[in-house]
Amino acid sequence: MSTLLQSAPGYRAGHTLPLRVEAVRQLKRRRTLVMGAVLAALPFVLIAAFAIGGTPDGRGNNRITLMDTATASGANFAATCLFVSAGFLLVVPVALFCGDTVASEASWSSLRYLLAAPVPRARLLWSKLAVALGFSAAAMLLLPVVALAAGTVAYGWGPLELPTGGSLATGDTVPRLALVVAFVFVSQLVTAGLAFWLSTRTDAPLGAVGGAVGLTIIGNVLDAVTALGSWRDFLPAHWQFAWADALQPQLEWGGMLKGAAVSVTYALVLFALAFRGFARKDIVS
Position 104 scores a pLDDT of 83
Position 13 scores a pLDDT of 52
Q: Report the distance separating Cα 252 and Cα 25, nearest Å.
A: 41
The radius of gyration of the chain's CA atoms, rounded to the nearest angstrom, is 21
Position 54 scores a pLDDT of 67
Positive or negative CA dihedral for 216, 267, 178, 24? negative
- Which residue in 127, 106, 124, 121 sits closest to 280, CA to CA? 121
Position 2 scores a pLDDT of 43
Backbone angles phi, psi at 9, to 5 degrees: -60, 130
How crowded is residue 268: how many other Cβ atoms within 10 Å of its Cβ? 12
Confirm if 130 and 192 have CB atoms less than 8 A apart.
no
Position 60 scores a pLDDT of 53
Position 103 scores a pLDDT of 83
Position 271 scores a pLDDT of 95
Question: Which regions in the chain score pLDDT beneath 70?
Answer: 1-17, 54-64, 109, 112-119, 282-285
pTM: 0.86
